[in-house]
Structure formats: C-alpha cells, structure tokens
Structure 1
Amino acid sequence: MECPLPEYPLSGAARSENARTRRLASVELSFDGGAGRVHQAADNGDNDAYTTRPMAYSKGLEHDGRGFLKAGAFEALEQALTRPGTDQEVDPAFDVPVAHVFDPDGSKVRTTVGGSKVGYRKLESPLAGMYYENEGPDPDGVGMAPAPKLGESELCAEMVEVYAMALVRDMTFSQLSEPSSLLTHVDPSVEGGQTLTFDNAGKPATVQDLIDGLNALAWFGKGGPVSSLGGGPLGPDLTGHEQRRRAARFDTEDTTGTRVTAETLFRGSSPGCKTGPYISQFLLAASTNGRVGFGAQEISLFVKPMRAGVDHMTNWAAWRVVQNGEKLSGLDECDPTRRPITTPRDLAAYVHIDQLYQAYFCACLMLLNAGVPGQKGFPNAGRDTREGFATFGGPHVLSLMTEVATRSLRAVRRQKFQIHRRARPERLAAMLTLAAHEPVALGNAADKFTSMLTEMGVIGGGNPDTRRILDWIAARNALLNACADDRVYQVAPDPEDFAPSDAGNFLLPMAFPEGSPMHPAYGAGHATVAGACTTVLKAFFDLYDEDGDQLIPRLDSASPGGRVFTAVGQGQFGNCSPFCIFSDPPDMTVEGELNKLAANIAIGRNFAGVHYYTDYYDSLRLGERVAVGILQEQMTAYPECVKMSFRDFDGHRIDLETDGSGTAPGVTMSVDNSDAPEDVAAWWVQTLAEFPERP
C-alpha cells in the first residue's frame, strides 16, 4: 500500500470537516463492509422441537419436581426477550415469571445458611444484546453457528467430556499429562481431604482409562458414524464448520485412528494450545514469585484455591433449588493459602470471580514489562525521533482491550438470550438422569435421550469404556451426598423432588455452589472476551520474524533464563519456589501462549461445569470478529500508514492496513495474503455461511 505524506489540518473548519469525514468512514466500514455482511444463523431448533424443552435455558423460572417448567413460563421469557409481534425492541419492565412472581414472599425458599433463608438470583443483562454500539460491529452484525443438537454425537461427546472434567478437578495438570497417572479424587469429609482412586474392574483407574472412555464415543473415536447439524435439507454429512471444530481438538486432521491423547486432553483449538505445559506461561511466568509489575505496584498471579473435593448440586434437591434461582453464590469453601494455578479446580476458582479482561490485562503488562515491541507496521517503528505512548504504546493497548471486552459481551449476550437460549450442562445432566429412570417423562424427546444414553453405555450394555465415566460420576455423587450435612448451607427436602438411584445419579458435580450464571450457555462470555482481547494483543505486539510468517520464541523475554514454568502439586514445590522449571521447547511461542491463555480461561469454565466445548470454540471466534471489526474501524482515525498482521485462531494470516487517508477504501483487510472481497467476506461468515439464516 502506498503511503502518502500525511496532511494535518491543525484546527478550524478544515479539521472539523476532516474529523467528520473520518467518523463517517468508520460507520461505512462497520455497515457496508466486513461484519456488515454477516447474517444471523438460526438456532438448532431444539427449543421448539420438544414439548418438555429439555435443552432450553430456564434457570430462575419455577421447575416442578422432575425439573420441568410450569406451563407458559418459557414462552413468557421468550416474549420478553424478543418482543415478537410488537413495535417495541425491548420490554422495559421485563416482566418474566421469576421469583418475584412465583414466590413473592420467599416462602418457597428451601436453602438456609446458619438457619437463615437465602434470597433469589436475577437474570444477568438479558437485554444487553438489544443495545446498540457506537464502535465496532453491531451485536447483530456478528453471529454463531447453531449449537449441536440434542441426541447427536457431538453433544453426547461434549457432555461426557464435561463429566470427565468434573472427575479430575483435584488432579494436577502435570498428572493429567501422564497416561499412567492414577485417576484420583478427594473425599472432603476427611480432615485435610483424603485422596481416593476410581475403580476400573477391581483396579485403580488411570488417566488412560478416562481417555479410552472418551475415544469410545463416535465424535472422538475411530472414524465411527457421527451425526451432525446436517440432516434434513443439508444432508447427512458433517458441515465444514463441524469438520473444522472436530479436527481442531486433535493434533492432526486425519479422520482415522484414536483421537484423544494425554497431549490433547481438554486442550484448546488454536496454534500453540497443545504445545508445552497445559497452563499458559501468562498465568504462571511473571517471575519466580508469581507477580506482575503494575507501575509501582504488583499484581499476584496466585489464586485462593477452592477446597479440594468440595462439589455441589450432586442430589436432586440441591439441583432443583438452584434451577429455581435460589442464591447460593458466595458460599464457596476456600483454602487460605494462595498458590499458582495447579489443578483444574484452581483454574475454576480463577474464572469464577475474575474481571473478564483480567488475564489479558496481566498478559499485556507482562509483554510491556518484557520490552516486546509493537508491530513493525506501526508509524513509530524504527524511528529515531519518536516512540509510542498515547498512540501505539502502553495506554493505547491497555485501554483498547477493555473496549473490545465490553463490545464482545453485548454481542454474545445477543446470542445467549435473543437467539440460542441453550441449556447449561447442569440441566442436560439432570435430564439424562431422569431419562435413565423414566424416559417417558421426557415426552417426544425420549428417543433423543435414549440415543445418547445408548452411546454412553448406560442403555444396551455396550460401550463399557464410556459407561465407566458415568459410573464414576454416580460414585462421586454418592460420596458427596453422604456428607451433605457438612455443607455451609442446607437444603430442605421436598416430597415432590425426583429421587434417582445412587447408581443412576448422573447429575453433574459442580465446582460452584450456585452452578452456572444466570444466562444461557451459548455463547460463553469468558470465551468471547478471550477471543476479543487476545486478538488485540496479537495485533498490537510484534510476534513474527522479518518474513512475517515465522514465529519468534520470545518466552525468554517473559521468564527468567529462557525457561518454561509449570506448577506442580501442593507439597511438591521443593526448590522451585514455587514453580518447577524445565527446558523451553523450541516451538513454544508468545503467540501460542496467548492462544493458550484464551483457551485456559474459556475452558476453565468447562472444568467448573458451566459450559460445553462448543461454547468455547464458537464464542472465541465471535470475539475475534468483534475485535477485528473495531481494529479495522479505528484505522480511519489514523492519519498515517498503519499495518497490523497476526494469525487468527484458525491459523489464517490477517492483515489490516490503512493508507492514512481516513476513507473506507483506504482501509484494507486481507486473509492469507488475499484482499479479494469474496475471500475477506468468507472469513467474516466462516462459521455461519453453511447454515440457514434466522427469520
């Protein structure tokens, strides 16, 4: 791109007119190019297909003893969220049948703490997706593919995966990387916690046994039949989006052979996520004392860990009161000594109460403190007389991350509430439990649950490897229910509550007392913000060599001695004070560790039990597109040539460039070195193009 000498109208009418022209150019970019061409894909149809609405988000509404909604409750929620048939965009009163309607005096509350009843929770920002934006894509200008359908292999696989993640919360990530490690859990009723093993045919189970259970599922396994969002007018085969999503879980795109390994178990989908330790260096390697410099202050990367072995919602009474919205938040049991993120439960503790851009703010501080330079295409790069600060320096990038965070949250709220309204894993687990005992209770969804339970090995006697995972869940629930009286809260019994057998109790043990937040699963707020903030970091810092396509390992700038940190188990820190150090793999890079950071934060929510894998995968790419739209739009404000180059979460090279003219044509985007309009447009709708547009 040619870069003419910039013209600077210093003041007066010329400056004012130039500012207006540039502002209008940014509007043109937002609505006539890029995200302005995106269509909204329809939801997967599950909420309309089944009379019992087993996959509909309904938390905070009133549920009967078997977990179903009172008549008309979900329809009232939909009406308030979307205002069909009216000339109003929003319902200011938002009069939906939550607790103020079904229990105005609190007489139905069953949970007490110290003898006092708890209150009720409220839905979180249900109308945020109806708000507009004055920067970047409109919330309706970006979208997500339909979520996996009930009864299909992908949903079956990601539900079993969430079960598996719940089982290993108190193992270290180092242990999970070794197939021979014993599969352990903690009995919290014993003083200090007692480590137990899961049983596998009379022998202690191992991590490899868990992996075998996952690989026995069609979605993960040896090229078995895989159902998909195809079906009907799209045909029986996997869509391209599903193929990419499936392949991204593994080290290879080969469609045969065992898929999940200890090296790929619970890992992210982007370049670098499967390299090196599970936890990103940006969550560990600030320094040997775990602190990040923040001006004259420091920020500790250590977390206050939740007490090992303490899981929640393992009996139907506790599950039901949480679905009705009873407020158990803030009742976590924590250990007083802070430590580096060592176990999945530690990661869940981090993502429970973090400020959503927190991890990326700290990562940005680490990069700035390490002296990692800005991009070569910035106007101050290589200059003898100036350097970045207000523009293309620390204040610029640190504030830009907060901007993309708020915008991406509105975009994902629209997906959650106005479009998909997908149930959280805790609800699907309860419906699977009910289906294992009373399939007829699921109405016209019974066959779909029978299909899932058959693939899981619960029905029909097949697939014993996967069945073991559900048996371990049932055993874990029985152990925790035996010591339920030790909780800081108590739930009064209700004779209407369904009572599953111990062996058939497949409720999902939750890391948080309150379970999921008060908003639907798809998309995920943490993952969307992760995608947006990480994209800003990759677009701002110089992560590539002179050819622009080879990654430079810069971890030696962020960690002492060019080494890699990994946290080990409590009591095993030894001289690592408190990290263990080993040689730096040559293919670990800053870009990879940033991608891994985004995956850690998003998948940390899966370890807590509040999200599925697809919530992470698709939301990450939603946030990425919000960020690219904002970066592209802001280029109209730059009166000099600026170029940003980075790789997206699928490995495509993205170039954003302006000639400084302040016009929409003066801002270009290319994907894999092509600026052809059709190629750029295809990138914006990569996750959406194959699916029918929402009416």
Structure 2
Amino acid sequence: MRQHKDDCEIGPLSPVQRRNTAYQVRENAALSNFRKDPLLEENCNQDECHYPNKIGNFSKGLPHNDLGVVDQGAYESLNQALNSGNRDDLENIPLAGPAKLVNPQAAYAYSLVGRDSHQYDIPAPPSINSAGIASEMAEVYWRAITRDVSFNDYESNKLIRLAAEDLSSFSEYNGPKEDGQVTPDTIFRGNSEGDLLGPLISQFLWKSIPYGSNRITQKNRTTIADHNFMTTYNEWLHIQNGGTPTEPSNYDKKSRFIRNGRDLAEWVHRDFSFQSFLNACLILIGFGRDAIDPNNPYLHSKTQIGFATFGEPQVLDLVTSSANIALEAAWFQKWIVHRRLRPEAYGGLVHNYLTNKLKAPVHQELLNSKSLKIIDKEYDTFLLPMAFPEGSPLHPAYPAGHATIAGACVTILKAFFNENFQIPDPVISSSDGLSLKRYKGATLTIGGELNKLASNIALGRDFAGVHWRSDGIEGIKLGEKVAISILKDHRHSFNEDFKGFTLTKFNGKTITIS
C-alpha cells in the first residue's frame, strides 16, 4: 500500500501498478477465451446445396419470379458479398424494391466483452423437406388461425383443441406435451422450467413497472381482431420483392393488457431490443432486498451497500448491454452460416406446390394438417396469414434476434436476483385485456417467470408468423451462452469477496460462474 504523504491518491496500488494490473485483467480474459474456446465447425441444414433454385433459403428483398423463386444471379451476388465481407460488394447486391437488407455487416463485428460472436455454435435448423419443419409450419399456421383467442379461453376453445390434436400427430413436434400429447395447457408455450406453470404470459409483462417516481401500467396499443395481411398471392409476392405494404395496421381504440396471440405479436412488433427485460429488471428491483441473489456480497456487509458493483446501476447496465452483444452472435449465424427462409416464404412454397405450380419437397405430415384446410377455406390460398403488413424483417430467420436477446438478458437477471423468490401479488389479465385480477393458482417464482418471459418474447414472434419455434428455442440457448461468457469476463474484475454467479440454465441445470 502506498503511503507517500504528498499523494492525493491513496490505495493499494500505484498508478503504474494499477495500469499494469488492469492490462493483465483484460489480457487474462482474452487469453481465457482464446485458449478455452475451440475452433468451431459450423453446421447448416445444407438446403442451399440440396436445392439449386434456393427455395430453402432466405431471399426476401431480392428479385423473384412469379412463383416466388429468387433470381439466381441476385442470390449468388448476395452470397459472394457475404463471403467477401467487402463493403462495396454488399452495396451492390441487386434488390427488387425499396426495402433494404437488415445489417449484414453486423455479422463481422467484434465484441470487446465475452467470446467472439463467431465462437458460439447452434445446431442446424430443420430442412425444408423434414418432418421437423412440417411441424413448425403447422404450428405457425395454427398460431395465425387462433391469434384472437383469449389465453383464458384455451381450455374451452374448439380451435385450440383442434390445434392441439393436430400438432400431437406430428412425429417431430418439439413443443411441450403432457403424456406425449399437446394439450390446451401446453400449446404455444416454451420448453423451460416455469413455462407450463400458471398463465401463459409472464408476470413481467403484466405487473406495473416502477419508473423513477412514476409507475407504468402495462396496457399496450394493439391491433384489431381478424385483420391479417399477405393473404392474397399478389400481395405476398409484392412483399417478397421488397415492396411497400398496400394497407396499414388498424389499431384498437383501447389499450389492453396482453390477452391473446395478436396482442403479444404486436408487443414484439413495436418493442425496442431490451425493453421487456429492462422492465423486468425495474420490477425486480422494486421487490426489494429479499429478491436479490443470495451470493451478492453486500447482503451481509455491516458497513457497505452495492452500487456501481453488485447494485442497481450494474445490473441495469449488463441486462441492457448484453442485448447487443447477443445480437452480434445471432447476426453471424443468420447471415454467414444458415440463411434460413422465413415461414411466410415457406407458405408461398406450400401454396405453389398445392396449386400444382411448383415442385417442392413439402412433407406429407404438413399436407395432412387440418390447419391447411382452415386456411384454404378462409382465404382461398395456402399462404400464411401475417400479423404485420410488411411481414418479416429483411434478415434470415435463424436464430431469432428477439430470442437471442431474451436468452442473454434473462440469464443476466438470474445471476443478480433470487430465482426462488416468490412473485408477490401475481395477476392475470381479463379475457378482454381491459383489467387485471389477482391470480390464485400455483406459486410463481422469479426464475420460472423469467424463463416464461424469455419464451413469451421469443415465441411471440411466431404468433406474428415471422419465426419458427426452433428460431426461438435455439436463439434463447445462444443468448444464454453469450451472457455466461459476459459474466465470466466480469467475474474477475471485482474487489469484493465474491463466490461467483450462480444461476439455473434454461435446461434446468444449475451452474456457478467462479
């Protein structure tokens, strides 16, 4: 410890020592990531190789023929630009309309915290000829059909029961089941602990948010019932070619608490990247001391409280900053590895196949789905009815950006808060979404409701028709990996006597980052 009487600055290290130690902390973190992370061989589903006309890959915004098949030269230009990473090449990709591709250069960005975005792996998504994608497409059809059914009415609703029965027949449906069957209690939910307990919607999307001296009531602007988009072939093709939608969303005159799939879809249509997780963090802070993670070193200090470390500023910073680091990891997978098509594009494939206009490897299990008969009867097409006028954004499907953010932000929140803490005064929305009432069911915990929040935000995009279930589930897992890596880097930056971050992963395994 320095003891020079003329120094204004006191402390255990001299300026030179501190500078050297700071450098060493950063170097150790970088070396740890460099030495421990293997060089990964990324796996894709090989659709780009198996189907030379590229019907299995993302091509929205590029020019397409009348069957929705992408211009081969344009697709090759996209691939060459992505392969080179050259800014001029990326500026010369031929587009068919005014809509622009969303941020492919983010795939090349480097992060200064945690592992490099290219050092996270995810499994290949189902191929367009598989039973897996058949089940996922049937699920998004059913989500579209039942968008306006209140979650409170799932048990008694005939369409929900029919959807559960239909999805149970798929050999590779990967959603939750009871005794091997999809039920009204499990349908459209996530796969993690807590997802099947209590209401489908997380408490963190319903409870009021402390915001400084104010409280924000979570009533939201939503769209009117029975108003779907891209249900005519001409509009669908126009949007695939990057055209501007010909009709806008029509909004409900009343704000509502999230009460059905349409409301949830509109929430994840208009939210900013980490919005729901910032809200959750503020709600958790409002729960008080007992909601703090037991490993927090200041819970038992006689003279100190946490602030810049282990306090509100730090958790607010990490839960928000982790979102963009997660997006960089997702964007690498989206553009450089998988280039997976969106459900709306697959709906066009199904339509052209069933109207005998295009040969396509549509799986028989999807052709047997009762959802197709309902869609055909309602719209006289087999296109996927979309919740958004513009359909999906112009970047590939896999993994979902919302899901990857969700996995990262929720993992940070689990590290700083007590997962076993019981949610006080839980609520449930009325069927019309105009009020909240007290929820009187099973005990809900922070950990379970955070898992549910991640699923709501990830799979809420499926209610809109812009993502597949595997986009969400695997995106959550990817985001979790990103957050764990961030926490590892931060773990060795503290002066406090800290035993490490302990949290429960989405697969139910408890880990300690020490």
TM-score by length of 1: 0.70
- 1:60 aligned onto 2:45: no
Query: In 2 relative to 1, CA 124–455 (structure 1 residues): closer, same or farther, beyond 3 Å?
Result: same
1:32-90 CA distances to partner (integer Å, 9 max, x unpaired)? 22xx226142211001111221111001101111111123111110111121xxxxx43
Aligned to 1:151: 129
- 1:128 aligned onto 2:38: no
Q: How does 1:589-600 map to 2 (within 5 A)?
A: 589-600=445-456
Aligned to 2:411: 535
How far apart, in 1, do the equivalents of 2:158 and 2:222 lie? Answer: 22
Aligned to 1:30: 33
How far apart, in 2, do the equivalents of 1:262 and 1:353 lie? Answer: 28
- 1:217 aligned onto 2:85: no
> Which of residues 137, 140, 157 is equivalent to 1:181?
157
Aligned to 1:9: 12
> Which of residues 492, 502, 513 is equivalent to 1:645?
502
> Which of residues 218, 223, 243 is equivalent to 1:306?
223
Letter in 2 for 1:22: V
Q: How does 1:403-552 map to 2 (within 5 A)?
A: 403-438=321-356, 441-442=358-359, 446=360, 448-449=361-362, 452=363, 454-456=364-366, 458=367, 463=368, 466=369, 468-477=370-379, 502=380, 505-543=381-419, 551-552=420-421
Aligned to 1:555: 423
Query: In 2 relative to 1, CA 329–316 (structure 1 residues): closer, same or farther, beyond 3 Å?
Result: closer
CA shift, 1:402, in A, is: 1.6
How far apart, in 2, do the equivalents of 1:641 and 1:432 lie? Answer: 59
How far apart, in 1, do the equivalents of 2:69 and 2:184 lie? Answer: 38
Query: In 2 relative to 1, CA 393–341 (structure 1 residues): closer, same or farther, beyond 3 Å?
Result: same
Q: What residue ranges of structure 2 are gaps of 5+ in the alignment?
A: 1-9
How far apart, in 1, do the equivalents of 2:164 and 2:318 lie? Answer: 40
Runs of 4+ in structure 1 displaced over 4 angstroms? none
Aligned to 1:138: 116
- 1:570 aligned onto 2:412: no
SS at match of 1:555: coil
1:562-581 CA distances to partner (integer Å, 9 max, x unpaired)? xx31112228x5xxxx1132
Aligned to 1:632: 488
Aligned to 1:319: 236
Letter in 1 for 2:168: N
Letter in 2 for 1:611: H
Aligned to 1:249: 176
Aligned to 1:94: 90
**Does structure 2 retain, via aligned residues, the 8 Å contact 1:532–1:626?**
yes
How far apart, in 2, do the equivalents of 1:626 and 1:98 lie? Answer: 34
Query: In 2 relative to 1, CA 216–435 (structure 1 residues): closer, same or farther, beyond 3 Å?
Result: same
How far apart, in 1, do the equivalents of 2:301 and 2:272 lie? Answer: 36
**Does structure 1 retain, via aligned residues, the 8 Å contact 2:62–2:74?**
yes
1:323-365 CA distances to partner (integer Å, 9 max, x unpaired)? 0111339932111321100111000010001011100101110
**Does structure 2 retain, via aligned residues, the 8 Å contact 1:270–1:649?**
yes
SS at match of 2:506: coil
1:191-229 CA distances to partner (integer Å, 9 max, x unpaired)? xxxxxxxxxxxxxxxx22221111122224xxxxxxxxx
**Does structure 2 retain, via aligned residues, the 8 Å contact 1:530–1:601?**
yes
Q: How does 1:264-275 map to 2 (within 5 A)?
A: 264-275=186-197
How far apart, in 1, do the equivalents of 2:121 and 2:147 lie? Answer: 32
Letter in 2 for 1:600: N
How far apart, in 2, do the equivalents of 1:323 and 1:406 lie? Answer: 27
Bigger Rg, structure 1 or 2: 1
- 1:382 aligned onto 2:300: yes
**Does structure 2 retain, via aligned residues, the 8 Å contact 1:29–1:633?**
no
SS at match of 1:129: helix
SS at match of 2:438: strand
How far apart, in 2, do the equivalents of 1:584 and 1:606 lie? Answer: 27
User: Number of matched residues?
Assistant: 503
**Does structure 1 retain, via aligned residues, the 8 Å contact 2:418–2:446?**
no
Aligned to 2:6: none
SS at match of 2:492: helix
How far apart, in 2, do the equivalents of 1:436 and 1:93 lie? Answer: 38
* Range with greater deviation from structure 2 (128-137 or 38-47): 38-47
1:263-295 CA distances to partner (integer Å, 9 max, x unpaired)? 110100111001100000111123xxxxx1111
Letter in 2 for 1:469: S
1:153-192 CA distances to partner (integer Å, 9 max, x unpaired)? 111001000000000111111112x0x3243xxxxxxxxx
Aligned to 2:74: 73
Query: In 2 relative to 1, CA 43–329 (structure 1 residues): closer, same or farther, beyond 3 Å?
Result: farther
How far apart, in 2, do the equivalents of 1:471 and 1:529 lie? Answer: 36
Aligned to 2:3: none
How far apart, in 2, do the equivalents of 1:38 and 1:274 lie? Answer: 37
CA shift, 1:261, in A, is: 1.0
Query: In 2 relative to 1, CA 314–152 (structure 1 residues): closer, same or farther, beyond 3 Å?
Result: same
Aligned to 1:364: 281
How far apart, in 1, do the equivalents of 2:497 and 2:121 lie? Answer: 31
> Which of residues 254, 265, 275 is equivalent to 1:348?
265
Query: In 2 relative to 1, CA 42–608 (structure 1 residues): closer, same or farther, beyond 3 Å?
Result: same
CA shift, 1:298, in A, is: 3.1
Aligned to 1:604: 460
Aligned to 1:283: 205
How far apart, in 1, do the equivalents of 2:308 and 2:247 lie? Answer: 40
**Does structure 2 retain, via aligned residues, the 8 Å contact 1:283–1:359?**
yes
How far apart, in 1, do the equivalents of 2:308 and 2:72 lie? Answer: 57
**Does structure 2 retain, via aligned residues, the 8 Å contact 1:566–1:580?**
yes
- 1:336 aligned onto 2:253: yes
How far apart, in 1, do the equivalents of 2:291 and 2:130 lie? Answer: 47
How far apart, in 1, do the equivalents of 2:32 and 2:169 lie? Answer: 48
Query: In 2 relative to 1, CA 169–38 (structure 1 residues): closer, same or farther, beyond 3 Å?
Result: farther
How far apart, in 2, do the equivalents of 1:329 and 1:39 lie? Answer: 44
Aligned to 1:585: 442
SS at match of 1:37: coil
How far apart, in 2, do the equivalents of 1:425 and 1:627 lie? Answer: 28
How far apart, in 2, do the equivalents of 1:92 and 1:596 lie? Answer: 43
**Does structure 1 retain, via aligned residues, the 8 Å contact 2:194–2:447?**
yes
Query: In 2 relative to 1, CA 96–434 (structure 1 residues): closer, same or farther, beyond 3 Å?
Result: farther
SS at match of 2:16: helix
How far apart, in 2, do the equivalents of 1:506 and 1:166 lie? Answer: 12
SS at match of 2:427: strand
CA shift, 1:93, in A, is: 4.9
TM-score by length of 2: 0.94
SS at match of 2:87: coil
Identity of aligned residues (%): 35
How far apart, in 1, do the equivalents of 2:47 and 2:92 lie? Answer: 21
How far apart, in 2, do the equivalents of 1:91 and 1:631 lie? Answer: 33
Aligned to 1:395: 313
